């Protein structure tokens, strides 16, 4: 079979399987809630008050890591350009992770301060 025909078939089958899986899992979750005596229509996800802080610090950390990798690549490793791709990914991951840790520490501090006031 020609490869040009096989790719659209696989993409459409994968899309169908993904939609079917999402609908199936959502239905199972609702049935489990009904079995436990909960009303699925009144169920709402828990609010995430620090979600914007988390994303902001993650993106700031990733951007800082990318900028630092750019500076290191073109100052320290200027003789071997385009051979240090790993430093970009490593510094993005390191500083993105540091942003998430900082977000966790801010949330924990705020939660601790709110608990001590009660």
Domain boundaries, the chain: 1-44, 51-117
User: Tens digit of pLDDT for each residue in 88-110?
Assistant: 899 999 999 999 999 999 888 88
User: Tens digit of pLDDT for each residue in 20-57?
Assistant: 999 999 999 999 989 999 888 877 766 777 888 899 99
Please write down the HEC assignment for all residues of the chain. Answer: CCHHHHHHHHHHHHHHHHHHHHHHHHHHHHHHHHHCCCCCCCCCCCCCCCHHHHHHHHHHHHHHHHHHHHHHHHHCCCCCCCCCHHHHHHHHHHHHHHHHHHHHHHHHHHHHHHHHHC
pTM over 0.75, yes/no: no
Confidence (pLDDT) at 78 = 67
């Amino acid at each position: 079979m020609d490869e040009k025909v096989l790719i659209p078939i696989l993409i459409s089958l994968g899309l169908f399987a993904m939609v079917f899986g999402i609908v199936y899992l959502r239905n199972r979750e609702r049935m489990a809630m009904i079995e436990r005596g909960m009303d699925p229509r009144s169920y709402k996800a828990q609010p995430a008050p620090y979600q914007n802080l988390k994303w902001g610090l993650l993106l700031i950390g990733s951007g800082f890591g990318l900028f630092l990798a750019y500076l290191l690549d073109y100052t320290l490793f200027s003789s071997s350009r385009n051979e240090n791709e790993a430093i970009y990914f490593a510094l993005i991951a390191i500083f993105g992770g540091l942003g998430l840790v900082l977000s966790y520490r801010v949330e924990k501090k705020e939660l601790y301060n709110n608990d001590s006031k009660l």
